[in-house]
Amino acid sequence: MNKLSLLILILLFTSNCSVSEKRGLWGKEKSSVKEIKTIITKKIKEEREFNSMLEIKISNEKPNKNLSKNQNNISKTFYKGGIEKIGNYKFSKFDDFEFIDAQPVFYNEQVIFYNNDGTIILYDQNQKIIWKKNFYNKSEKKLKPRLNFAIYKNILLVVDNVAKYYAIDIETGDIIWSKNNIAPFNTEIKIKNNFFYVVDYKNILRSISIKDGSEFWNIKTEESLTKSNKKTSIVIKEENIYFINSIGDITAVNSKSGQLIWQLPTQSNSMNKNVFQILNSKLVISGNSILFSNNRNEFYSIDVKLGLINWKNEISSSLRPAVVGKFIITISDQGYLYIIDKKTGNIIRINDLHKNYKINKRKNIFTTGFLISQKKVYLTNDDGKLITADLDTGNIISINKISNDKILQPYINNNNLFLIKNGSIIRFN
């Protein structure tokens, strides 16, 4: 092709593009391309350390009074041991361990857990099996029941993701009663006055008799199209029950009548319909406040009586916060330790507990849980590592490799530390 032919082609192209102003390529008319709308408008801020060298005598704070499992306010526990393995409770591995939020319960010094097909196991303090029971038929076992536990005296209460709920005599392993629900469960179980309270996948709070499994009342909230792997959180204070459903609505209900007290949406309607999954932390009641956070960069303090927001801060965490005296302690999903003023919500200090990871690797490392014991913070990650840090300074004390894969949140019982990996619960002293 000679230069003249090439010049003619260029002139024809430019004239065709500019003659039709409706196309708007260079004309004054607007482009025919439709405006692109952003689905997720909430941008998670970049985290960094803040006042990282500031020493705060958090360990000197007096333990909070009237702590209760019903309020999820565990505060400081007591563990004087180190990371020395002294026991191993074995169970068959889960096929979906990276997605589940399995939790053991403790009956004195005994441990109760379950395995991949829904078999419930009671271990003694020497890791020996006292009894194993399975209450599922063949078709139910194929659904891989995932169980949630609570203990009332010598009764083990169980709800599952195949829409069953039942009660077991812990001493014998015999079933006391069994019922079916219209929807599966993935929920905390809270107990008060011979009743237990659970929320099913339809976001319905149910009051159920411990004696025979009969339902006393239920209250419906808006249902979500998506299901979360995080347990629905429930807390109780005096005569009221508070729970957060899968779309972020917090609801207060009278435990005796089931009457609605108040409801507070924490997410917009547009976000409720979004495919983006909201992961909420457990609710924690401290004094007259409900505390919780989520993976959308929101940490809330809410008035327990009125359902009004006391304050809100930008912290992205799906882990349960802890309250020690006038301080709130939480750890973000990316491993940053936050010390927060409980009254104002102001951030006092931020320490990076993942600082020893290489930058390209830490993007794929997420926290799974933490607990506070005296002057130490124990943090578990989905890469199988346990990080121990000093609570007052935020300095890392040790990093221990527990597993090659995910370990779940840590637990302390009778001055023993328990860590769960796929296939076993490891006991430390």
Would 366 be classed as within a structural domain? yes
Would 24 be classed as within a structural domain? no
Would 256 be classed as within a structural domain? yes
- The number of C-alpha atoms within 13 Å of 47 and in the hemisphere containing its C-beta is 25
> What is the total count of domains within the chain?
1
The residue ranking higher by pLDDT, 40 or 83, is: 83
- Reduced to 3 states (helix: H, G, I; strand: E, B; else coil), residue 59 is helix
The CATH number given to whatever domain includes residue 375 is 2.130.10.10
Instruction: Assess whether pLDDT exceeds 70 at residue 384.
Output: yes
- For the stretch 101-137, pLDDT in tens is 899 999 999 999 999 999 999 999 999 999 999 999 9
Would 10 be classed as within a structural domain? no
> What is the average pLDDT across 387-392?
96
Q: What is the DSSP letter of 1?
A: -
Q: Which two tokens stand for residue 128?
A: 């020996």
- For the stretch 73-102, pLDDT in tens is 877 677 877 889 999 999 999 999 999 989
**How many angstroms separate the Cα of 330 from the Cα of each of 22, 253, 327, 356?**
56, 27, 10, 19
Would 22 be classed as within a structural domain? no
Would 145 be classed as within a structural domain? yes
pLDDT at 270: 55
CA 168 to CA 181: how far, in whole Å?
Answer: 18
The residue ranking higher by pLDDT, 29 or 43, is: 43
> What is the average pLDDT across 265-283?
74
Instruction: Assess whether pLDDT exceeds 70 at residue 208.
Output: yes
Would 204 be classed as within a structural domain? yes
Q: Which two tokens stand for residue 234?
A: 């429930």
Would 38 be classed as within a structural domain? no
**Domain boundaries, position 126:** 45-428
**How many angstroms separate the Cα of 201 from the Cα of each of 66, 204, 229, 253, 263?**
31, 7, 11, 18, 18
Percent of residues, the chain, with pLDDT higher than 70:
86
- CB of 339 within 8 A of CB of 347? yes
- For the stretch 213-226, pLDDT in tens is 999 999 999 988 77
- Mean pLDDT across the chain, nearest whole number? 87
- CB of 262 within 8 A of CB of 254? no
The CA angle 379-382-388, to the nearest 5 degrees, is 20
